[in-house]
Amino acid sequence: MSTPKRLSKVLTIVFLALTSAAAPLFSETSAPPRYDKSESSNYRDIFDQAVYYEGLQYFHLERLYRDLFGKKKRALDVNVYDEVPDSTFFTNRHGRERMSAAALKQGPAVTSGPDASGPWSIYKGKFAGVSSGFFIKDGRGEKYLLKFDPLDYVELATGAEVVTSRFYHALGYNVPQYTITRFRKDQLTVAPDARIYDDTGFRKKLTPEKLEGYLLFIPEMPDGQYQASASKILDGEVLGPMEFQGRRTDDSDDPVNHQDRREIRALQVFGYWLNGTDIRESNSLDVVEMIDGQPRIRHYLIDFNSGLGATPLGPMPSHFGHEHIIDYGEILKGFLTFGLWKKPWQKRWDEAGREIQSPTVGYFDNRYSKANRFKTQLPYYPFKDLTRADGFWAAKIIMKFTDEDIREVVSAGEYTDSKTPEHLTQVLTERRDLIGRYWFKQANPLDAFELHGNEIRFEDLAVRHGFESEGSSTYHFKVIGKKGRKGVILAQDQTQEKAFTLQSEWLNQFPAIHLLIRTQRSGEEKPGPWVRVEIESEAGGGARLAGILHQD
């Protein structure tokens, strides 16, 4: 063999060796990605949030600094127009474009629930603790989780779950399908290998006799049927709960720490609207799904039977929504006032004669209800980090729901007593307005900015929704010419018109103009928070709207 041949052979071997050694590095891109999995645990959630993070919050120097100096941290997943673009966390639905009545009522449902034409085979279950239920497979082979009402409160938790899940869906969150389903006892069969955790804490074989015993603890409808909320089991690999802090390191779609995501922070506002006191990490789920032909992680909210006036154990307890599970501040206030100060939830409960509204509604009203005072059971950092701009964003979406929209979604609860949807609709409508009124005051509620030639037009949401009367507001403008980071105040003006005209020379002189607008309502001494509208000059003349920023 000649030297060149030998050399080429050696080189070939070296090349093959190198490429084969490097192969795993390249092949990883084509192999299915592997994701970290975790298991949800309410107990761990409670310890983490109510004890650990709450106790150590001021050991976080950044948090301490922000609290001491009143600094806010802006959400990082908002675009230049101060909106949250669609992602695997959130999809703009009703907030972006009005959903039809049918779409609102249908929510994420792709089926009408388990196929009632055939038997349902129970293959797994749990009959103890907070969330008792059965996993069933229907005649079509589809899997569902059936959850039930507390014994004396038929329709309470099941209705709340179906209704609130549809609201969260319309708001933009990923939500599994929940439907009201009714069935007869003889529709249920037990799979041979079905196991269930019963109240002994041991996993046991589920027998028809045991099932019969469990059904005694489920409320029966007058026609002998049972009602459940049927949650369709999500297709895809379940990775465990979504954390409200930090981010997944194994997900390229997850570049922002969750506490800095506006849609996570805003759960505080949406939670208040829907009385979702039980929003917690263990009520969320990360699922690997095929999206556009690629496996990607979608982040779901699940378990909505704690909402409106309901919890899985019965009506919403009177202190829920007012205090965290362990609310150190409230405990201290109670201690220091020697019990002489009556807390708002105590007043509310006492004034209600310590009576719930009804067995189907539970406990849900707006007495002593304040949009900024709502507390979820667990105090998550992102909820504390909610800024004015985040709250405004959430309120803006909520205000898109008309009375009719709300009524339509509530009708998905299939309540038998017509007073129940009436009451729920009324409370939700009032609470929607409480939210709008509050957040449109906290932030500058100017929205829907449009640039027509040199004129900026906008809408005042507080006026549009009737919280402020037309003509009662003065808009203070400050025009800032921007060159790089430097800015020069070019003009200041005020008007009652919802429009402002930019002078052409400003646009010629500066590559960008920032318009700082503050709104002053009649009777107010000074204007409120600002909203910044950013306009950029275009090369061929003219200008374009380059950004919107509400004060945090």
Partner 1 sequence: MSKQVKKRFIALFSLVMLGTGTLLAQEAAYDPYASVWREGPLKKKPFPLKETFTAWATHFLVYPFELVRWPIGETLAFIQKYHVQDKVDWIYNQIKNYGIYPRTKGLTNFNGLGGGLYLDFVKLAGLQEELPDLTVKGGAFWTAEHIQDYEAKILQEKILGTGLKAGTFLRYEKRGEEHFYGIGPDTSLGDGTVYEIERTTLAGILGYDFTDTTRLEGRFAYQNVNIGNGRDGGRGAIDQIFVFTGRQQVPGLDGDEILKWILEFEHDNRDVKDAPTRGGYQRLHFSFNKGLESSTGYFKYRGEAAQFFKLFSDRRIFGLRGVVEHNDEVEGRTVPFFDMARLGGNGIYPRIGDVNRGFERDRFYDESLLLLNMEYRWAIWEYRDWRMDSVLLWDEGQTFGEWSDFQFKDFAGSYGLGFRVTYGEKAVLNIEVAKSKEGTEFYVNTKAPF
Distance in Å, CB of 481 to partner 1, minimum: 19
Q: Which of 59, 117, 485, 539 binds partner 1 (CB under 8 A)?
A: 59
Query: Tokens 């709250």 appear where?
Result: 391
Q: Which of 202, 486, 508, 525 binds partner 1 (CB under 8 A)?
A: 202
Q: Which of 35, 72, 73, 92 binds partner 1 (CB under 8 A)?
A: 92
Piece in contact with partner 1 (CB under 8 A), picked from 311-319, 403-411, 433-441, 468-476: 311-319
Q: Which of 79, 207, 495, 522 binds partner 1 (CB under 8 A)?
A: 79
Distance in Å, CB of 150 to partner 1, minimum: 13
Nearer to partner 1 by C-beta: 452 or 526? Answer: 452
H-assigned helices in 309-418: 328-336, 344-351, 381-384, 388-398, 403-410
Nearer to partner 1 by C-beta: 92 or 366? Answer: 92
Nearer to partner 1 by C-beta: 220 or 536? Answer: 536
Q: State the Cα–Cα distance between residues 61 and 277, nearest whole angstrom.
A: 29
Q: 440 to 459, contacts with partner 1 by CB under 8 A?
A: 450-451
Q: Which of 123, 197, 368, 477 binds partner 1 (CB under 8 A)?
A: 197
The residues near 480 (Cβ < 8 Å, ≥ 6 apart) are 487, 488, 489, 490, 513, 514, 515, 516
The residues near 376 (Cβ < 8 Å, ≥ 6 apart) are 267, 268, 271, 276, 277, 278, 279, 280, 324, 383
Question: Does 86 contact partner 1 by CB under 8 A?
Answer: yes
Angle, in degrees to the nearest 10, between helices 403-410 and 156-171: 130
The residues near 338 (Cβ < 8 Å, ≥ 6 apart) are none
Angle, in degrees to the nearest 10, between helices 419-442 and 388-398: 140
Question: Does 201 contact partner 1 by CB under 8 A?
Answer: yes
C-alpha separations of 229 from 18, 112, 508 in Å? 58, 12, 62
Question: Does 545 contact partner 1 by CB under 8 A?
Answer: yes
Question: Does 47 contact partner 1 by CB under 8 A?
Answer: yes
Q: Which of 139, 208, 213, 255 binds partner 1 (CB under 8 A)?
A: 255
Question: Does 263 contact partner 1 by CB under 8 A?
Answer: no
Q: Which of 35, 81, 368, 477 binds partner 1 (CB under 8 A)?
A: 81
Token pair recorded at residue 224: 């002998």
Q: 94 to 123, contacts with partner 1 by CB under 8 A?
A: 96
Nearer to partner 1 by C-beta: 156 or 412? Answer: 156
Question: Does 484 contact partner 1 by CB under 8 A?
Answer: no
Distance in Å, CB of 117 to partner 1, minimum: 35
Question: Does 334 contact partner 1 by CB under 8 A?
Answer: yes
- What pairing do the DSSP bridges indicate for beta strands 120-126 and 188-197? parallel
Residue type, 329: G
Q: 410 to 429, contacts with partner 1 by CB under 8 A?
A: none
C-alpha separations of 48 from 298, 331, 393 in Å? 24, 19, 29
Question: Does 303 contact partner 1 by CB under 8 A?
Answer: no
Question: Does 35 contact partner 1 by CB under 8 A?
Answer: no
SS (H, E, C) 241-299: CCCCCCCCCCCCCCCCCHHHCHHHHCHHHHHHHHCCCCCCHHHEEEEEEEECCEEEEEE
Nearer to partner 1 by C-beta: 69 or 202? Answer: 202
Residue count, binding to partner 1 (CB under 8 A): 59
Q: Rounded to a whole number, what is the distance in angstroms from the first to the last CA of the chain?
A: 77
Nearer to partner 1 by C-beta: 62 or 209? Answer: 62
Q: Which of 9, 34, 37, 85 binds partner 1 (CB under 8 A)?
A: 85
SS (H, E, C) 475-514: EEEEEEEEECCEEEEEEEEEECCCEEECCHHHHHHCCEEE
**CB of 501 within 8 A of CB of 454?**
yes
Residues 128-167, mask of contacts with partner 1 (x by CB under 8 A): xx--------------------------------------
Piece in contact with partner 1 (CB under 8 A), picked from 79-87, 158-166, 302-310, 453-461: 79-87
How many other CB atoms are there within 10 angstroms of residue 14's CB atom?
10
Exposed/middle/buried for 140, CB within 10 Å: 0-12, 13-18, 19+?
exposed
How many helices (H) and strands (E) are present in the chain, helices listed first?
17, 20
**Contact positions vs partner 1 (CB under 8 A):** 39, 41-44, 46-48, 52, 56, 59-62, 76-77, 79-81, 83-86, 92, 96, 128-129, 197, 199-202, 252, 254-256, 313, 317, 319, 323, 325-327, 330-331, 334-335, 338-340, 342, 346, 350, 450-451, 544-545, 547-548
